Structure 1
Amino acid sequence: MNFKYLLIIFLSWASFAQNNDFPTAKVDSIVKRIQLPVIPSYQINILKLGAKGDSVTDNKKVFDKAMVLCKKNNGGTIIVPKGIYKINGPIHFVSNVNLKIEKGVKIKFSDNPKDYLPMVLTSWEGTMLYNYSPLIYANNCTNIVISGEGTIDGEGGTTWKTFKEKENEGKNRSREMNHNNTPLSERKFGEDYFLRPQMIQFLNCKNILVENVRIENSPFWCLHLLKSQSITIRGISYKSLNHNNDGIDPEYTKDVLIENVTFDNGDDNVAIKAGRDHEGRANTDTPSQNIVIRNCNFKGLHGVVIGSEMSAGVQNVFVENCKTVGYLKRGIYLKTNADRGGFIKNIFVRNIQLDEVEDCIYITSNYHGEGKGYQSDISNVYFSNITCNKASESGIVIQGFPDKKIKNITLKNIEIKQAKNALSNENAENVLMTDVFIGQRASVPTAVSKQ
């Protein structure tokens, strides 16, 4: 290899490193353009409509009536005062509404699947279809808020939990419809297919705020941000430990701020997605992008995940100043496979404190070893100032394909104090490591021992 070629490599790596310091100005511009909802002054207290917070009475009709009154008044605030409110069916939002769940409130949803019919347009693991209504659902709404210090309980641990072992037929059918481009009008599931509903879903919505509430016991994903934009999620907390209880799932979504969230989930804390397989690749004009995650406490399966359903692409993700408060299997996890296509690019992660994990940083193009023909592009990923006390398996894993390599990964100021396997790096180009320590730091060389 001649000197000129070496110089070109050095300059390209140096340029990548110099241009990938955490882009604070870009983060600030995203946060600045996110619009908080504007809610009219009209207010209605659900007690005045006959609600009973006795944990027994069904308040479904009362909440429906409150939404109707807000719609007639071009929006307003629905006040839910202290009590336990049973609701046998979903809450469907209209625009310009703040559902204010005050301190001392628990909204407790029924776990009878029939209560969540008729079906609504939704998505299930990256495929658009008709299914049970999410427990709280908004479609084509603007200016919507869920606020207060109360609790939303999805009652997901009994009836809904049994759906997990019965879902394969419905799951496989949804994926076949995705791959075969089946018309959306024919993708009807609901009864007998056992696909659990999300707890909260915003579909095709704009200017969203979810603030300070507590989310417990979801049937499936907890908070699904689908095809929506201009979203603020802050100050909320979780205790939701059922199957597939992701905390927050942005999908085909842009301009999102997630901050000061305390997670405790049975699955991923934040899982950024962008559609699955053929359907996702047909929507590359709506990637998930411009997502800021900061000042969060992670606890659950994984901290921040991108994928595996990300076929429309994920770009411009900024994670900073987060830490664990309990177990995580993986800290930061980028996962895709040869079924997906699409891209993951421009990912910036800094100032992360992890305690004990299985794997600290994991980037793979071969998730579950599945698929063929649609390998994803992963490039421009920057990690800095990350500490981890112990990785019971791997410190850092990077796995590309020989004919589709992961490109431009920067690791700067990384310290993993203990790991069974320090580093696995295969099929990657331009991996730049600066001040990376895995295991005990080496000191100065020892002197030659005397014979």
Structure 2
Amino acid sequence: MKKLLLLILLAGGPIKAQLTEEAKQVAIQEIVNRIQLPSIPEYSVSVTKFGAKGDSIFDNKKAFDKAMNALKKRNGGELVVPKGIYTVNGPIHFVSNVNLHLEEGAKIRFGSNPKDYPLVLTSWEGTMLYNYSPLIYGNELENIAITGKGTIDGEGGGDWAEWKQLEDDDKLLSREMNHNGVPVKERIFGEGHYLRPQLIQFVNSVNILLEGVTIEDSPFWCVHLLKCKSATLRGLKYDAHNFNNDGIDAEYSSDILIEEVTFDNGDDNIAIKAGRDHEGRANSDTPSENIVIRSNLLKGLHGVVIGSEMSAGVQNIYVDNNRAWGYLKRGIYFKTNPDRGGFIRNIYISNIELQKVEDCFYITSNYHGEGEGFNSKISDIFISDVSCEEATGTAVVIQGFEESEVENVRLTNIKVKETNNATSITNTKNVVFDEVIIGKEATVPTSVSGKETDVDLNN
């Protein structure tokens, strides 16, 4: 059997063999089996026992703090949020072994006064720093969950949204600190700066479950897993349309299952990241890897994204059985540039239904046309069994560099019914199309007759 495989590879050139469907499902199941759901003590208590009021007016910050401290003392349990609207002026800081359970009709609504959010260790667009606390935050935790049928509302469309137009200087400053190797403890943002916080962020944590809740209007990214391992995100619902409202961002993280999520958000539905530029490349021992994305409903700006902050590398990503339920600018989008370095490899994408998009697949090494000196290596990308109703831009875009080609890409059984442009493929090696139909499918060839036949024969 090994000899036969070797012969097939030699005959077909150096392109890596695509996994069979059976082998792919085995690989997916191995990842899922490694992921551990959080172990939560059976003890349960309502946040109202600590003075919380769901009247939409009362500030419940102290009540949630007291509840978390009490659960920490007894090594965890379930913190129940009953029906009602709970205003919280400041962050909820998690402790280990706790499930924050929002009952149906419960909403946690956060205030937008920056002074209520202390500085914590976080990251902003791939650079580690100290900034305003995410609205729900935890660092170095284990066995943590947010579940139920309630809603978490970041109220990000008010004061926070005004910071979007003020953030450029701080974005540049954070990147300069990254490139110059400024110690993280000296990267202090907060008052006088304008980097918006995430809605939910867990850092350096393991055994995480987010299930069932609805997520609305974050100041910045909605759910951010930073340096985390063993996480399940299942059955979430999104209605988040503020600036940069990515649905789920996984960064320097591994062993993650994202399934049965209904996205409707103002930016990337799912973005796999791995740090930025010099700092990211220095952390190449912690790529984002072993991530399963399946059975989700996609709607927003882009469906499944890798990058653009991916300098530590992204590998072993399985995207299976997802479909759009509305417009996406791009269905699948890999974005990197010569500032990043790192790699994107071993990506398996299958069974996707897209509706109207601008581009179905867009793989670029030249995102924003910026940077130099650190080309990324993109290779071993396998895309199969995809249908798209219409691409108003280009069905398939692949952009490498002459000195750093995008390599070993196979597209199998792809059908795009209508498009403006079919393909734009530059600086690549071993790109294979198999059973690909872009535009109207050709049937039997037409024939000529009569005088036209005579002319053709005489010429």
Question: Does structure 2 conserve the Cα–Cα contact (< 8 Å) formed by 1:311 and 1:343?
Answer: yes
Which whole-Å deviations, capped at 9, do the CAs of 1:1-41 have from their partners, x for residues lacking one? xxxxxx99862448634546561111000000100000012
CA distance in 2, matches of 1:242, 1:449: 61
Cα offset for 1:105?
Answer: 0.4
2:331 counterpart of 1:331? yes
- Going from structure 1 to structure 2, the CA distance change for 1:168 and 1:438 (only over 3 Å counts) comes to same
- Going from structure 1 to structure 2, the CA distance change for 1:20 and 1:38 (only over 3 Å counts) comes to same
1:65 aligns to what SS in structure 2? helix
Cα offset for 1:448?
Answer: 2.5
2:247 counterpart of 1:247? yes
Give 2:132's aligned amino acid: Y
CA distance in 2, matches of 1:123, 1:18: 35
Give the equivalent residue in structure 2 for 1:183. 183
Give 2:209's aligned amino acid: L
2:362 counterpart of 1:356? no
Cα offset for 1:225?
Answer: 0.4
1:278 aligns to what SS in structure 2? helix
Give the equivalent residue in structure 1 for 2:3. none
Cα offset for 1:156?
Answer: 0.1
2:66 counterpart of 1:65? yes
Cα offset for 1:315?
Answer: 0.2
CA distance in 1, matches of 2:450, 2:439: 28
CA distance in 2, matches of 1:355, 1:95: 42
Q: Map 1:45-444 onto structure 2 (within 5 A).
A: 45-117=46-118, 119-444=119-444
Cα offset for 1:44?
Answer: 1.5
Question: Does structure 2 conserve the Cα–Cα contact (< 8 Å) formed by 1:363 and 1:399?
Answer: yes
TM-score, length of structure 1 as denominator length: 0.97
Cα offset for 1:450?
Answer: 2.1
2:65 aligns to what SS in structure 1? helix
Give 2:206's aligned amino acid: K
Question: Does structure 2 conserve the Cα–Cα contact (< 8 Å) formed by 1:13 and 1:432?
Answer: no
Question: Does structure 2 conserve the Cα–Cα contact (< 8 Å) formed by 1:395 and 1:419?
Answer: yes
CA distance in 1, matches of 2:134, 2:226: 12
Give the equivalent residue in structure 1 for 2:456. none
CA distance in 2, matches of 1:130, 1:18: 43
Question: Does structure 2 conserve the Cα–Cα contact (< 8 Å) formed by 1:305 and 1:334?
Answer: yes
Which whole-Å deviations, capped at 9, do the CAs of 1:218-273 have from their partners, x for residues lacking one? 00000000000000000000000001000000000000000000000100000000
Give 2:80's aligned amino acid: I
Mark the runs of 5 or more structure 1 residues left unpaired by the alignment. Answer: 1-6
Mark the runs of 5 or more structure 2 residues left unpaired by the alignment. Answer: 1-6, 452-459
- Going from structure 1 to structure 2, the CA distance change for 1:31 and 1:169 (only over 3 Å counts) comes to same
CA distance in 2, matches of 1:14, 1:350: 22
CA distance in 2, matches of 1:123, 1:14: 39
Question: Does structure 2 conserve the Cα–Cα contact (< 8 Å) formed by 1:390 and 1:417?
Answer: yes
Question: Does structure 1 conserve the Cα–Cα contact (< 8 Å) formed by 2:282 and 2:312?
Answer: yes
Question: Does structure 1 conserve the Cα–Cα contact (< 8 Å) formed by 2:219 and 2:245?
Answer: yes
Give 2:324's aligned amino acid: T
CA distance in 1, matches of 2:430, 2:27: 24
Which whole-Å deviations, capped at 9, do the CAs of 1:305-333 have from their partners, x for residues lacking one? 00000000000000011111111000000
CA distance in 2, matches of 1:195, 1:142: 28
- Going from structure 1 to structure 2, the CA distance change for 1:345 and 1:20 (only over 3 Å counts) comes to farther
2:33 counterpart of 1:32? yes
Cα offset for 1:440?
Answer: 0.3
1:326 aligns to what SS in structure 2? coil
TM-score, length of structure 2 as denominator length: 0.95
The alignment-based identity, stated in percent, is 61
Give 2:31's aligned amino acid: I
RMSD of aligned C-alpha atoms?
Answer: 1.3
1:345 aligns to what SS in structure 2? strand
Give 2:155's aligned amino acid: E
Give the equivalent residue in structure 1 for 2:454. none
CA distance in 2, matches of 1:164, 1:196: 8
- Going from structure 1 to structure 2, the CA distance change for 1:10 and 1:395 (only over 3 Å counts) comes to farther
